[in-house]
């Protein structure tokens, strides 16, 4: 990765746009932040910017989802972690945000509200068009430097990620710098068989990545859990009722095609847990009734998957196995993490939910590489050039001589 870092710049007195990823797991009932790992990760770069005027920008959730909220609680968590006053503005690109940025003094940290409140941040652009967005046009003139430190969002071509480096000097923050260096080292020693354990809910992204991982020799076994596991079970006609997800028929058809192309690669659950009147009820997948929704893996599936994990040379796990925010449905996620931690393989754990669960279980020191990135890390392992990395490399060529 040939990019500029914070060490390449004189930061004192500069006004810096710092794009981080504080997108945290949110309790759907209380709306409280469940895991603060991604907020904690931002601190190292913020400390490197202690003599600058720093504007921190992040998103939280997706429009229409339960975790789509403002950033006021994130500001309070950051303030507590840093033991330092964090300014917060309920605005992203309007007059209030611009005024707050202009009034910063050296050492100040300002957190903007959820970037996705700005409609443009919900769409992907070419870097050239991202530079022409209202967000970049309004804010870029207020900054001296753009620091990109949101590796979990590195696979997105949003204005805050690829737009600012088009018009401002840009460099990697400490997380991105270290993440890519560590991953490159790990992938040079990674050995077969490669076991990929995939869960979570971002199905279309996962389907594309799975095919690339298999084609590039990075996935000898793909163990499916969570919503993507349900999609593959539906493709196998083992789940009869609709899953109620967007573009369902399209993603099920893609899963069906993948199973046909690589029949020996995929493993799907044999038993599951459903929620029945607020209680966990385990059953064989064949016993599922119409309308039953999968909330977690059952013990037979965990045993089956754990055997495949124990024989792996490299294990990559991303996304929770079920609705792990609820204690009664956290079994699958925790059990698979224990299997990964106890294996002799080179291990990579990815995604905000899993890093939170690792911390809760005290297993972090048994994992070779832990990343809060989910989809971005999956794509990075395929060898795909991520938009953020490309933006940083282009900025290094453009600004290194200046």
For residues 22 and 141, state if they share a domain: yes
For residues 330 and 360, state if they share a domain: yes
pTM over 0.85: no
In a domain, 376, yes or no: no
What confidence score (pLDDT) does residue 87 get? 98
For residues 236 and 133, state if they share a domain: no
* 253 vs 268: CA distance, rounded Å: 16
Strand order in 346-350's β-sheet?
266-267, 221-224, 194-198, 314-318, 346-350, 369-371
* 167 vs 169: CA distance, rounded Å: 7
For residues 165 and 230, state if they share a domain: no
In a domain, 379, yes or no: no
Strand order in 271-276's β-sheet?
279-284, 271-276, 294-297
In a domain, 45, yes or no: yes
Question: Is the pLDDT score of 402 beyond 70?
Answer: no
For residues 204 and 169, state if they share a domain: no
Question: Is the pLDDT score of 337 beyond 60?
Answer: yes
For residues 255 and 331, state if they share a domain: yes
Confidence band of 162 (pLDDT split at 50, 70, 90): very high
What confidence score (pLDDT) does residue 246 get? 83
Mean pLDDT, the chain, whole residue set: 93
For residues 211 and 298, state if they share a domain: yes
* 388 vs 379: CA distance, rounded Å: 12
In a domain, 110, yes or no: yes
Residue-wise pLDDT tens digits, 254-299: 999 999 999 999 999 999 999 998 899 999 999 988 888 899 999 9
Nearest CA to 64 among 196, 245, 203? 245
For residues 198 and 297, state if they share a domain: yes
**Paired sense of beta strands 53-57 and 109-112, if any:** parallel
Residue 338's domain is classified under what CATH number? 3.40.50.1260
For residues 237 and 363, state if they share a domain: yes
Tell me which of 33-42, 96-105, 156-165 is least confident: 33-42
Most confident among 176-185, 209-218, 306-315, 377-386 (mean pLDDT): 306-315
In a domain, 305, yes or no: yes
Residue 390, number of CB atoms within 10 A of its CB: 15
For residues 159 and 243, state if they share a domain: no
Residue listed under structure tokens 């500069």: 14
Classify 310 as helix, strand or coil. Answer: helix
Which whole number is the average pLDDT over 147-163? 96
Which whole number is the average pLDDT over 75-85? 97
**Dihedral sign computed on CA atoms, order 158, 162, 168, 170:** positive
Residue-wise pLDDT tens digits, 18-69: 999 999 988 888 899 988 989 999 999 999 999 999 999 999 999 988 899 9
> Residue 290: exposed, middle, or buried by beta-carbon count in 10 A (0-12, 13-18, 19+)?
exposed
What confidence score (pLDDT) does residue 378 get? 86
What confidence score (pLDDT) does residue 357 get? 87
For residues 273 and 129, state if they share a domain: no
Confidence band of 401 (pLDDT split at 50, 70, 90): low
| Joined tokens for residue 66 | 């339960």
* 349 vs 321: CA distance, rounded Å: 13
State the total domains in the chain: 2
Confidence band of 1 (pLDDT split at 50, 70, 90): low
Residue-wise pLDDT tens digits, 198-211: 997 778 878 888 99
In a domain, 48, yes or no: yes
* Boundaries of domain holding 352: 190-371
Alpha helices in 216-351 (DSSP H): 226-235, 248-261, 299-310, 331-342
For residues 395 and 274, state if they share a domain: no
What confidence score (pLDDT) does residue 275 get? 92
* 60 vs 310: CA distance, rounded Å: 35
What confidence score (pLDDT) does residue 37 get? 87
In a domain, 245, yes or no: yes
Strand partners, 271: 284
φ, ψ dihedrals at 26, nearest 5°: -120, 130
Tell me which of 131-135, 260-264, 355-359 is least confident: 355-359
What confidence score (pLDDT) does residue 326 get? 87
In a domain, 184, yes or no: no
Question: Is the pLDDT score of 235 beyond 90?
Answer: yes
Whether residue 382 contacts residue 349, with contact meaning beta carbons closer than 8 Å, is answered with no
Strand order in 15-19's β-sheet?
87-89, 109-112, 53-57, 15-19, 145-148, 170-172
User: Which conformational region is residue 64 in: left (phi greater than 0), alpha (psi within -120 to 50 degrees), or beta?
Assistant: left
């Amino acid at each position: 990765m040939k990019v500029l870092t914070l060490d390449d710049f004189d930061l004192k007195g500069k006004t810096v746009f710092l794009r981080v990823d504080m997108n945290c797991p949110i309790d759907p009932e209380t709306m409280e932040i469940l895991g603060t790992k991604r907020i904690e990760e931002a601190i190292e770069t913020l400390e490197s910017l202690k003599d600058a005027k720093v504007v921190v920008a992040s998103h939280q959730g997706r429009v229409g989802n339960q975790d789509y909220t403002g950033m006021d609680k994130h500001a309070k968590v950051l303030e507590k972690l840093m033991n330092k006053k964090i300014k917060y503005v309920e605005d992203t690109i309007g007059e209030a945000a611009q005024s707050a940025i202009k009034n910063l003094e050296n050492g100040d940290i300002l957190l903007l509200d959820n970037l996705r409140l700005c409609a443009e941040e919900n769409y992907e652009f070419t870097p050239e068009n991202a530079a022409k967005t209202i967000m970049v046009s309004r804010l870029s003139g207020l900054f001296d430097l753009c620091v990109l430190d949101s590796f979990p969002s590195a696979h997105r071509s949003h204005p805050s990620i690829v737009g600012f480096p088009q018009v401002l000097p840009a460099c990697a923050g400490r997380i991105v710098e270290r993440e890519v260096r560590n991953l490159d080292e790990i992938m040079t020693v990674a050995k077969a068989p490669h076991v990929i354990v995939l869960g979570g809910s971002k199905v279309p992204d996962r389907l594309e990545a799975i095919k690339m991982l298999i084609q590039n020799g990075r996935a000898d076994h793909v163990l499916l859990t969570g919503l993507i596991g349900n999609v593959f079970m539906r493709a196998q006609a083992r789940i009869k009722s609709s899953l109620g997800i967007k573009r369902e028929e399209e993603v099920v058809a893609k899963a069906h095609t993948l199973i046909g192309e690589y029949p020996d690669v995929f493993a799907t659950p044999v038993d599951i847990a459903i929620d029945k009147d607020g209680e966990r009820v385990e059953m064989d997948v064949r016993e599922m009734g119409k309308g039953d929704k999968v909330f977690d893996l059952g013990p037979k599936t965990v045993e089956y998957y754990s055997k495949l994990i124990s024989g792996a040379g490299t294990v990559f796990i991303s996304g929770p196995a079920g609705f792990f925010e609820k204690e009664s449905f956290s079994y699958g996620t925790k059990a698979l993490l224990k299997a990964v931690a106890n294996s002799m393989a080179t291990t990579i754990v990815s995604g905000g939910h899993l890093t939170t669960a690792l911390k809760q279980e005290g297993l972090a020191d048994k994992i070779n590489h832990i990343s809060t990135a989910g989809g971005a890390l999956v794509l990075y392992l395929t060898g795909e050039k991520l938009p953020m990395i490309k933006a940083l490399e282009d900025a290094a060529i453009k600004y290194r001589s200046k």
